[in-house]
Amino acid sequence: MKSLVLLFTLFAFLLIPVQDSFSDLDISTNTQVYSPEHTLQVYGTGLPGENLILRLFAPDESITKFDQIQTNPDGSFNHQLLTWPDPSSGTPYGTYVVEVLSTEQKGLSKKINIKFSSTTELVSVSVDRQIQTVVFAPETGAKNQSFRVFVQTTRDGLNIGNDPSELLGNSMVHLPDGSSLSLKNSFSTLYSGVYYFDFTPRQEGTHVFQISVFNEGVTSKGFAATCFESEPWRNQ
C-alpha cells in the first residue's frame, strides 16, 4: 500500500511544470533619463539562447520601436534599441515604457519606465509639462452647411500662442466612410491659445475631429464628434 502511495506521489510530482521554477527574465537600461542623440541601451537576462522581444512604448502607448533578439549562451543580453531623435509628434518628450517579452517562458514580460526629455538632469524633469486640449463642436449639424469648430490649448494653465499650422498641424477629421482629411492649413487664430476652423460636411453621419497639439516636444490630443443629417435643423 505504501509503495502505491509513493508511486502516485512521484507521478504527481512529474506532472508539475518545471520551467516556471527556473523562470528567468530581467531588464535594465543604461540610464533613466534621455535627451536627443543619446542611445537607449537595454540589457538583462533570460534563459540561455532564448528569443526575446524588445518593445518601446511612447507616452500614448503606441509602439515606437520593436526588435527581436536572442540571449547569449549564459542567458545575458545587451542591445542598443534606439538613438533618440529630436522630439516630434511621433517621438515626443514624456515617459516611455521599455518591455522585454519572453517567447519561451509562457509570455513572461518585464517592464521599466524611462524619460525622454530636453535635459538628462533628474531634478529638471521631475515635474511634467502638461498640455490640455479642449475642442468645441456642435453635437449635430446639416450636410453641406458650414459650421465652426473652436480649439483651446493650454500648458500648465497658460494659453499656448504658437502658429496654428505648426501647433495643430497633425490634426484631422475622420469621416463616416472611414477616410480622413488633414486640417493642417485650416486653422485661424481667434486670440492667443484659441483657434478655429470652418468645416462644411459633404457626407451624412458622424464626423470625429481629432485635434493633435505639438509644442516644445510635448503632445496632447482632443476629440469632438458631430453627427450630420441630410436635412437642416428645424425649429419646433
Q: Confidence class of residue 16 from pLDDT cuts 50, 70 and 90?
A: very low
- The pLDDT assigned to 131 comes to 83
Query: How is domain 19-116 classified at the CATH fold level?
Result: Immunoglobulin-like (2.60.40)
Sign of CA dihedral 107, 31, 89, 191: positive
232 pLDDT above the threshold of 60: no
**What CATH number is given for 131-229 in this structure?**
2.60.40.10
- What does the pLDDT look like over 141-185, one tens digit per residue? 999 999 999 999 987 667 887 789 889 999 999 999 999 999 999
Q: Is 103 exposed, middle or buried (0-12, 13-18, 19+ CB in 10 A)?
A: middle
19 pLDDT above the threshold of 60: no
Residues of the chain with CATH 2.60.40.10: 131-229
Contact of 42 with 29, CB cutoff 8 Å: yes
Residues of the chain with CATH 2.60.40.1930: 19-116
